[in-house]
Amino acid sequence: MAVIDSTAIPRKPTQVNRQARTAWGLATPALALMFLILLVPVVVAAVLSFTNYSLGNSGFDWVGFKNYGRLFTRSTYEKMFIATFSYVVVVVPVSVALGLGAALLVNSLGRFGDVYKTIYFLPVMATLLAMAIVWEFMLHPTIGVINQTLEMACGTVLEVIPFVAKGCADGFPLWLGDKDYAIWVLCFIGIWQGFGFNMVLYLAGLTAVHRELYHAAEMDGAKSAWEWFRLVTWPALGPTTVFVVTISCIRAFQVFDTVEAFWPQGGGPNKSTYVMMFAIFEKGVQQNLIGIGSAITMLFLVFVMFLTLIQRWLVERKVHY
Amino acid sequence: MAGLSINSITKRFGETEVLRDVTLDIADAEFVSLVGPSGCGKSTLLRIIAGLEDPTGGEIAIDGEAVTGMRAADRNLSMVFQSYALYPHLTVAENIAVPLRMRSLSAGQRLPVIGPFLPGSKDKRAEITAAVKDAAEMLEIGALLDRKPGQLSGGQRQRVALGRALVRSPAAFLLDEPLSNLDAKLRVQTRAEIAQLHRRLNATFIYVTHDQVEAMTMSDRIAVMMDGEILQCDSPSIIYEDPNDIRVAEFIGSPKINILPVELHERTLSLFDKPVGRTAIGAKAGVYQLGLRPEAIHLAKSDPLLTGTVAHVENLGAEVFAQVELAGQTARVTCRAAPAARDQLRLGAEIGLSFDLADALIFDADGKRQRGVEVTLDQPVEAA
């Protein structure tokens, strides 16, 4: 044994070296691609955010933090932040809660579950741009089906509702053209479009809940559906919830196509729906102000990175058992 | 603590009949095992007793009170599941506390932040903590109370599951194969501990297992189930020594009982068409099956009843089991021998086997036990 050991020891480091070399060799293509298509553009954007570069110009000047300064002083960008955060704060909780509720209901159904699954998932599969046209028709102030339906309530008992009474007297809202309503309509469409996706994620999470835990809960004296949910379902869905919330946040920050479809001329009535993605598009692409566009992009990246870090922290600390 | 009575329970899943007319009375503080091969309906019966499944017909009564149709949460029974079914997000202490929290705290008092400050909550919570501590100490898991189930070994999880069951005083404990996920050594140890726990708590235990050793070592009575029926329910020694049915005899005992076909012509028994020089009294002529435990067969010094070659030997140290391929037959016979006989039991060795017919269990062709049959040494008719 001793003889074998003494010959084996010097051989080991070379073996380790060879293994390490192979590992690096195999990882190189992935690393190269990651640098080229992920890290380099981010660094380029970060550098450009400190300049006044425009596409086609031969050179640029360093402007320091001027672009970032603008973001936090100009009223346009204040509106951008208000619109973006209103959208995120409304859409994320509502679409997560609706997704969970729909998943629980669909899961409790036997045969018709699949039908509901398909129905709720349809908006996710449909192109939002095409759907936006349908919404635009429905929300049209005079010929839209929504306001026409609301008008049917005039002269009935429903007029006790202040909103209906006001609408019957002064006309119903313009929806997409009204600065008080536009952002909420946008939120509504975002929720309508997004909760089906969350439902599918929650349905996947529900299949992982151990059946026997419900029986244990029943034996332990949990009688109502709520007690079962609190004791078994909700804790088991912890990892799913963290994932769903993060994904929903990132998707909410990325909202763009609805805004572009409804208000291609610039962020809705009084810039009330001037969300970050649209601002990046408008500044960086339409107006060719690469510097300011890059600055918004960097800010957007910071938000998303922050969310991802919170998710990592939660996943590692809280929800894994 | 209470007795249980199960009265002609039937259960059908669609066309398949899982339980047929099962009747069983369990006395207060009794340890009854439901044992049988997988798919015999034993777990279904336990779940029907628990209230997790509804029977198609029949009644269940706990302590004389009919509970059929009552939901599981109201039956005051505790259950230990095969997978333990611990709540993964709760610590050991919280897991054990769940049955008490659900029963003694109101919905408001269970709320996470304001719950502890509601009137009456503090005293009840102190009681629960004390009860959890007692249960944990009884099971020697006091040091694990702050851990999550994910950080425990299989044996420790099993104890937590037991703790959750015994923290309150239920009418009966239901255990669904609680040892099947443990390794062999731990299983033997836990087996003894559960039997001890039963004596200490003096409670009714219903224990489901497919392992006949567990059933034999722990139970007051064993109910052997097969194809949705209870074939026999008796004490372990009766089940082993005096089974009613060939299926019971075959299921209980390791190695398995040897079954040899015998024929009875005019009171003369013949084994493999060879008269064995014995007379059976009290039975009609026909084909019977002879059940012989491995310990009933011994190596013959002279005049063997069976001859064959040793095909396989299992040496367990304290005893040796040999599988003998009978001459001219495909059947194998297992016999037990003392370690001293190891030299004789070399593979391929020709040996003779003998047995005392008084030790044999006689079954008819359908496997029903024939009790009135008496076997005597052959007395030639003309000599009588």
* A26 inside 8 A of chain B by CB: no
Query: Which H or E run includes A255?
Result: none
Verify whether the Cβ–Cβ distance A219 to B78 is below 8 Å.
Answer: yes
Query: B90 to chain A nearest CA, in Å?
Result: 9
Instruction: Find the mean pLDDT for residues B258-268.
Output: 83
Residues whose CB falls within 8 Å of the CB of residue B163, separated by 6 or more in sequence, listed in order: B92, B95, B96, B132, B135, B136, B138, B139, B141
Contact call for B102 and A235, based on CB within 8 A: no
Complete domains list, chain A, with CATH = 66-316 (1.10.3720.10)
Under the banding of pLDDT at 50, 70 and 90, the label for residue A318 is low
| Confidence tier at B384 by pLDDT (50, 70, 90) | very low
Asked if pLDDT for residue B378 goes beyond 70, the answer is no
The amino acid sitting at B375 is: V
Residue A5 has pLDDT above 60, yes or no: no
* Integer Cα distance of A271 and A80 in angstroms: 8
Helix spans in chain A (H): 2-34, 40-48, 66-73, 75-108, 113-125, 128-138, 145-151, 162-170, 182-207, 211-219, 225-228, 234-236, 238-253, 257-262, 276-280, 290-317
Q: What is the value of pTM for the model shown?
A: 0.81
The ipTM (two decimal places) reads: 0.84
Q: Which CATH architecture has domain B2-247?
A: 3-Layer(aba) Sandwich (3.40)
Residues in A touching B74 (Cβ below 8 Å): 223
Of B319, A296, B130, B51, the residue nearest A287 (C-alpha): A296
Q: Smallest Cα–Cα separation from A219: which of B204, B99, B163?
A: B99
Cβ–Cβ pairs < 8 A, chains A and B = 65
Collect all residues of chain A within an 8 Å Cβ-Cβ radius of residue B54.
none
Smallest CA–CA distance from A214 into chain B, residue: B85
Q: Is A319 helix (H, G, I), strand (E, B) or coil?
A: coil
Decide the pairing of beta strands B204-209 and B350-355: unpaired
Predicted pLDDT at B266: 74
Does residue A3 surpass a pLDDT of 80? no
**Are residues B286 and B365 in contact, defined by beta-carbon separation less than 8 angstroms?**
yes
pLDDT band at residue B3, thresholds of 50, 70 and 90?
confident
The pLDDT of B136-157, averaged and rounded, is 91
Closest CB from A216, A219, A235 relative to B89? A235
Q: Cβ B102–A216 below 8 Å, yes or no?
A: no
Local confidence band at B9 (pLDDT 50, 70, 90 cut-offs): very high
Pick from B73, B79, B85: CB nearest A213: B85
Q: Which residue of B has its CA nearest to A231?
A: B87
On the question of pLDDT at B382 being above 60, the answer is: no
A5 in reach of chain B (CB within 8 A): no
Q: How many residues does chain B have?
A: 384
What is the domain partition of chain B in residue ranges?
Answer: 2-247, 256-370
Average pLDDT in the B189-212 region? 92
Name the closest residue on chain A to residue B151, using Cα atoms.
A321
- DSSP 8-state assignment for residue A157: G
Mean pLDDT of chain B: 88
Closest A-chain CA to B165: A220
pLDDT, average across residues A161-181: 86
Answer whether A170 touches B (CB < 8 Å): no
The answer to whether the Cβ–Cβ distance between A210 and B83 falls below 8 Å is: yes
Whether residue B73 and residue A238 make contact (CB cut-off 8 A), yes or no, is no
Query: A49-65: per-residue pLDDT in tens?
Result: 999 888 888 888 888 88
Q: Helix, strand, or coil here: A61? A: coil
Does A219 touch chain B if contact means CB atoms closer than 8 Å?
yes
Q: How confident is the model at residue A153 (pLDDT cuts 50, 70, 90)?
A: confident
What is the Cα–Cα distance from B215 to B223, expressed in whole angstroms? 9
Q: What pLDDT, on the 0 to 100 scale, is given for residue A19?
A: 92
The mean pLDDT of A118-145, rounded to a whole number, is 88
Q: List, in order, residues 6 or more apart from A20 with CB less than 8 Å away.
A: none
Residue B53 has pLDDT above 50, yes or no: yes
CATH topology of domain B256-370: OB fold (Dihydrolipoamide Acetyltransferase, E2P) (2.40.50)
Decide if pLDDT at A216 tops 90: yes
Segment among B17-26, B115-124, B172-181 with least mean pLDDT: B115-124
The predicted pLDDT at position A12 comes to 65
Q: How confident is the model at residue B381 (pLDDT cuts 50, 70, 90)?
A: very low
Contacts of A223 in chain B (CB under 8 A): 71, 73-74
Asked whether the beta carbons of residue A216 and residue B85 sit closer than 8 angstroms, the reply is yes
Is B102 close to A213, i.e. CB distance below 8 A? no
pLDDT of residue A2: 45
- Closest chain B C-alpha to A212 CA, distance in angstroms: 6
**Lateral strand order in the sheet of B306-315:** B297-299, B350-355, B306-315, B320-326, B332-337
At A320, the pLDDT band (50, 70, 90 cuts) reads low
The pLDDT assigned to A106 comes to: 93
> How does residue A199 score in pLDDT terms, banded at 50, 70 and 90?
very high
* Closest C-alpha to B247, from B229, B231, B223, B263: B231
Q: How many C-beta neighbours within 10 Å does residue B102 have?
A: 20
